[in-house]
Amino acid sequence: MITEGSDSSFATQPAGVILALQRATHDTLRLLTARLAGENLSGSEINVLANLADGRVRSVGELAVDTGTKPTTLTSLLDRLASRGLLTRELDPADRRSFLLTLTAPGSRAARAARDVMDAIEAEALGSVSDAELAGFHAVVRALTAASQ
């Protein structure tokens, strides 16, 4: 049920799907970095760590896909995280052109913190959103992501 949609206090809700997406991304990212101020992480660093938080070892290319960025964008960011001791880059024995990204113990802690804050924001925001609406959200986002490859 979208009761807020007809509330005049939301008169500036953007018309298009992509515009709404961009606004929500900016807004949540700002809240996220504010709540994680103690960790001293930028928005993109939070995005990267939260993706790695599942413990799955990834190559740079895979991480680029997961975050929606390019490997070249990640290089300096990964340099920074590595120099802070949050992750390591190891040559993939199976393909020595590729690096395997692994969180260190402090990195896992920071990634966990990022995911926890994300989860908390989602829980707060989506309290009155139904499972069906949430499924609809994922369907739309998945379709947009797939169409943009």
Residues in contact with a copy of itself by CB under 8 A are 1-2, 4-5, 10, 12-32, 47, 50-51, 54, 62, 65-69, 115, 118-119, 121-122, 124-126, 128-149
Of 115 and 129, nearer to DNA (C-beta) is: 115
- Smallest gap from residue 31 Cβ to a copy of itself (A): 4
Question: Which tokens go with 46?
Answer: 């939070």
- Smallest gap from residue 134 Cβ to DNA (A): 25
List Cα–Cα distances, 128 to 3, 28, 103, 134, in angstroms: 10, 18, 35, 11
Q: How far apart are CA 53 and CA 48, in angstroms?
A: 9
Look at the block and give the residue holding tokens 């939070």: 46
Which residue in 28, 35, 39, 71 binds DNA (CB under 7 A)?
71
